[in-house]
Amino acid sequence: MSTFTYIAAIIFMGLVGIVLVRGLFNMMKGDNPSLSNRLMQLRVLFQAIAVILIMLTLWLTGGGRPT
């Protein structure tokens, strides 16, 4: 289970980066403001999921406590 959450957290961190860059480029071009807003909302959602997965992974693996 912790391997799944670890891999899922990495995937969601990558998605955060991709959506962030895409949203920033769209804002710089000045194309569609509603698309930029939607991309930033999606980034926040992916960030929340990534943080939850990271915390879940730490909880499942003992949080890096010394043994």
The 10s digit of each residue's pLDDT in 12-61 is 999 999 999 999 999 899 888 899 899 999 999 999 999 999 999 988 88
Return the closest-CA partner of residue 15 out of 53, 56, 61.
53
Report the pLDDT value the prediction gives residue 31, as an integer from 0 to 100.
82
- pTM of the predicted model as reported, rounded to 2 decimal places: 0.82
Tell me: pLDDT of 66 over 80: no
Residue 2: name the closest of 42, 64, 60 by CA: 60
Task: Give the CA angle between residues 30, 22, 3 to the nearest 5°.
Answer: 160
CA–CA distance, 19 with 46 (Å, rounded to integer): 9
Helix, strand counts (H, E) of the chain: 2, 0
